[in-house]
Amino acid sequence: MRAHVRDVQDFPQPGVVFKDITPLLATPAAFGAVLDALAATARRLGATVVAGIEARGFLLAAPVADRIGAGIVPIRKQGKLPGPTVTESYTLEYGTAVLEMHADAVGAGDRVLIIDDVLATGGTAAAAANLVRHSGAEVLGLAVLMELTFLAGRSQIPSLEVTTLLAI
């Protein structure tokens, strides 16, 4: 997998090394292996819903949900969803932001696996988990393609089971 992840220096701002997964997405065998591994995690945990975090998390979560026969819920940046939403502010490695989810997207009885491309500082994952919990659903864990271990994101989400396919 690492061979299909490209480092982009100083993006989106100076000092940040962006992990570009576009080459992985363009390689069917590599992308398929990622989806298989994430789907295996979702099945093992008994997920009934997969929540994908904007934007690259959508690219992973939707096909995983399809593979396991689960629903897909988008967790988006503020102002991108129509209708009533629940919101959660968070800090990321280069700023602050707000995530939203439709207020009725999940509820009691739903077992949700959150999927994203990268676990960095843990702020985005913590915010997503809070959105799901506040809506009454059970958060089963977080599954990510990559974990930037030097940023210690797991320390922000100690209650979540984290599945990482590629630790950097």
To the query of whether residue 54 is one of the catalytic residues in this protein, the response is no
CA–CA gap between residue 98 and residue 87 (Å, rounded): 7
To the query of whether residue 147 is one of the catalytic residues in this protein, the response is no
Residue 86: burial class (beta carbons within 10 Å; 0-12, 13-18, 19+) = middle
Catalytic residue among 2, 43, 54, 93: 93
Structure tokens at 65: 């949900």
Residue 26: burial class (beta carbons within 10 Å; 0-12, 13-18, 19+) = exposed
Catalytic residue among 2, 44, 54, 56: 56
Angle in degrees, CA 18, 120, 55, rounded to 5? 65
Which residues are marked as active site? 56, 93
